[in-house]
Structure 1
Amino acid sequence: MTGGVRTVVLPLLVALLSSPAASVAQGRPQLTGVNLAGGEFKPGRRPGVYGKDYLYPRDADLATFAKAGMNVVRVPLRWERVQPGLSQALSPEEVGRLDAVVARASAHGLTVILDVHNYGRYAGRSVTEPVVADGLVDLWRRLAAHYRGQRVAFGLMNEPHGIAATDWRRIVDRVMRAIRATGARNLVLVPGTKWTGAHSWMRTGGGGSNADAFAGFRDPGGNFAFEMHQYLDSDSSGTHPGCGGPDTGVDRLRAATAWLRSVRARGFLAEFGAGGDAACLATLDRMLAYMDRNGDVWSGWTYWAAGPWWPASYAFSVQPSRTGGERPQMRVLRRHLAR
């Protein structure tokens, strides 16, 4: 990305990260980037050995995607590694590693989304347990105080599931109050339950719909977006390389897009992925074009995924090959990056 482009985009990024939503200019999504996976690997090993069991983004990876024109990276992490005991002090070693990622990313003009990649669990225990819910509030109080005012967005929880939407909403309300009580005005990404799927946002079964539970949601800091995920395979799980028809992604986003507009809220598509065949690339392109046309509600996206530890066979990877070759999905993503 050239210096001239950065001078145009940066004011909008600052608005997204630290100002109320109403002040953000409408247009196509303004935070566009990739998940740099690795920090969530080997979750059963707590804490595990850094560099062997799990890894955070390297400077070379950050530089690669910044050079490609991206301006945000979502960095998965495991709650148990950052906070070894519920409602106890954060790990100085782990926070130091995350600080280094944030510093390197900022040097490349990238915003970091800290993604607690735990599915609504801590060491296998659900946030429906009061002590675990209290722990999540405590975790974000500590992280918000530490990263307050930095070029960091807060991803509250990756893909909560097995939790009634109304119960999850009550936990989120507590977490948001704790974050804002620190004085942090950073952008917060608020997921729903049911794996936070855009296609399932309106579904009422299994504890009520996210749409109903979050219809009246308010952020004391006025700077949040609803985090949604949307894969393009047959069951929206992201576990199959194939895609549906060319409008699969568009069709799966329509209801959530209308809902976001109806409640005057923003959305952020934090995970989506597609195989590299021609049909999937066309489907991916059409979905991103739809988000471009609805940039008044879709504030950004991060593709799943990149990272040096993905095998060459992983269908969704956009990590450059060892010979430096660009993955076909990157050619599609480039066409829809923030301008």
Structure 2
Amino acid sequence: MSGPRLRPLRAATILALCLMLGGAGAAERLPADACLRGVNLAGAEFGRLPGVPNRDYAYPSPETIGYFARTGMTVIRLPFRWPRLQPELNRPFDKDELARLETAVRTIRDEGLVVVLDPHDYAHRDEKPIGSAEVPVGAFAEFWSRLATRFAGDPGVVFGLMNEPYGITARQWLPSANAAIAAIRKTGAKNLVLVPGTSWTGAHSWFAEMDGGSNATVMAEIVDPADHFAYDVHQYLDKDFSGTTPDCSRGPDAAAAIDRLSDWLKASKRRAFLGEFGASRDKECLAALKTLVARVDARPEAWVGWSYWAAGDWWDKTYMFSMQPVGPVDRPQLTTLLPTLRLPDGAPARCPR
């Protein structure tokens, strides 16, 4: 697979080490000019469960990983499914699925990129929410204890607790998130943890008063013994911020939501990661995409970075948000974001100070 003819970025390895440094908060652990900028490589979360690998779902290929490494990206968010990795609660991982996950992580890391592990299950399992009798909080914590044990020795692996919790209140989600973080730290893992809110963790709804309280109020009660976490926030541009239509009519509102959240993060002395956002190839939408990313990049005191949704070998060529190249042709979304990844002389771009 051909792509941007740029030198592979190895600075991400140094960035990963920075993620492990001590200090009073996440802002002190990351240098002001370091940021995570990348893409979701979807595919391992595809298909019905349990599914057959490489028929119903697939991890990203080395060619796709290498392609995005050459762009100057520093991070890959890697979606996968919890039940495939751990078919039974509180039981060992499936050896074959674990091997597939570890191979993908190793390939990403060998390219010099940071990887975000992303259980893409919306805080549910078998349609039952985490925290229910069928999926106890303790089982979720046990899952993360096992997973953290596998990757605790690699500072370039970031632990994203869960993709887009929904159907539960922030007050119901909080004990699960705190229990998972406690289980992770009990293993000795010092990796950065990304903590989502509820209601699909949208920036636009972070302050909305919902049953059980807003994300802004409740998620301020996250407890991390290592004090090394960031919030995982998503933001789309379409009419209902869902990322399900190609329009970008709410682009200005999305940018305003990022600004408001940035102010809250700064005041709270916390940071966030924009784990998902996307835009169609429409000219106005590409402009809105550029604006959204610029708002994040301009506030390094509030954001550890971003990952675009999405790319991956199995996307249909017509998928509106796809950044996966078609033959030798780069997608317009990537072309729009390339200036944020590389300077004109080809050197890695840095976050604004």
TM-score (norm 1): 0.94
Q: In structure 2, what is the Cα distance between the partners aligned to 1:162 and 1:29?
A: 35
Matches within 5 A, 1:199-238: 199-238=204-243
Summarize deviations over 1:117-142 as a string: whole Å, max 9, x none. Answer: 00111111111314512211110000
Residue ranges of structure 1 left out of the alignment (5+ in a row): none
Q: In structure 2, what is the Cα distance between the partners aligned to 1:100 and 1:19?
A: 29
* SS of equivalent residue, structure 2 residue 38: strand
Q: In structure 1, what is the Cα distance between the partners aligned to 2:221 and 2:93?
A: 33
Between 172-181 and 206-215, report the one with greater CA deviation: 206-215
1:228 CA displacement: 0.4
CA gap of 1:248–1:276, structure 2 versus 1, over 3 A, is: farther
Alignment-mate amino acid for residue 335 of structure 1: P
1:149 CA displacement: 2.1
Which residue, out of 95, 98, 107, partners 1:92?
Answer: 95
Summarize deviations over 1:303-325 as a string: whole Å, max 9, x none. Answer: 0000111111111000001x221
Matches within 5 A, 1:66-215: 66-132=69-135, 133-150=137-154, 151-215=156-220
RMSD (Å), alpha carbons: 1.7
Aligned to 2:346: none
Q: In structure 2, what is the Cα distance between the partners aligned to 1:245 and 1:116?
A: 28
1:247 CA displacement: 2.6
Q: In structure 2, what is the Cα distance between the partners aligned to 1:286 and 1:87?
A: 44
Alignment-mate amino acid for residue 303 of structure 1: Y
Between 154-163 and 206-215, report the one with greater CA deviation: 206-215
Alignment-mate amino acid for residue 128 of structure 1: G
* SS of equivalent residue, structure 1 residue 257: helix
Summarize deviations over 1:62-119 as a string: whole Å, max 9, x none. Answer: 0000001111111110010000001111111111111111111111111111100001
Aligned to 1:258: 263
CA gap of 1:15–1:268, structure 2 versus 1, over 3 A, is: same
1:292 CA displacement: 1.3
* SS of equivalent residue, structure 1 residue 93: helix
**Does residue 326 of structure 1 match 2:324?**
no
Aligned to 2:344: none
Summarize deviations over 1:170-196 as a string: whole Å, max 9, x none. Answer: 111111110000000011110001111
Aligned to 1:284: 289
Alignment-mate amino acid for residue 192 of structure 2: L
1:218 CA displacement: 3.0
1:215 CA displacement: 1.8
Alignment-mate amino acid for residue 230 of structure 2: A
* SS of equivalent residue, structure 1 residue 99: helix
CA gap of 1:331–1:29, structure 2 versus 1, over 3 A, is: farther
Between 211-220 and 195-204, report the one with greater CA deviation: 211-220
Aligned to 2:58: 55
Residue ranges of structure 2 left out of the alignment (5+ in a row): 1-5, 342-348
Q: CA contact under 8 A between 2:27 and 2:269: conserved in structure 1?
A: no
Aligned to 1:45: 49
Q: CA contact under 8 A between 1:137 and 1:175: conserved in structure 2?
A: yes
CA gap of 1:189–1:246, structure 2 versus 1, over 3 A, is: closer
Q: How many residues align?
A: 334
TM-score (norm 2): 0.90
* SS of equivalent residue, structure 2 residue 273: strand
1:276 CA displacement: 0.8
Alignment-mate amino acid for residue 283 of structure 1: A
* SS of equivalent residue, structure 2 residue 66: helix
Aligned to 1:336: 340
Q: In structure 2, what is the Cα distance between the partners aligned to 1:57 and 1:224?
A: 26
Alignment-mate amino acid for residue 65 of structure 1: F
Q: In structure 1, what is the Cα distance between the partners aligned to 2:316 and 2:33?
A: 33
Q: In structure 1, what is the Cα distance between the partners aligned to 2:102 and 2:111?
A: 14
1:286 CA displacement: 0.8
CA gap of 1:25–1:103, structure 2 versus 1, over 3 A, is: closer
Alignment-mate amino acid for residue 333 of structure 1: L
Q: CA contact under 8 A between 2:207 and 2:216: conserved in structure 1?
A: yes
Q: In structure 2, what is the Cα distance between the partners aligned to 1:152 and 1:17?
A: 11
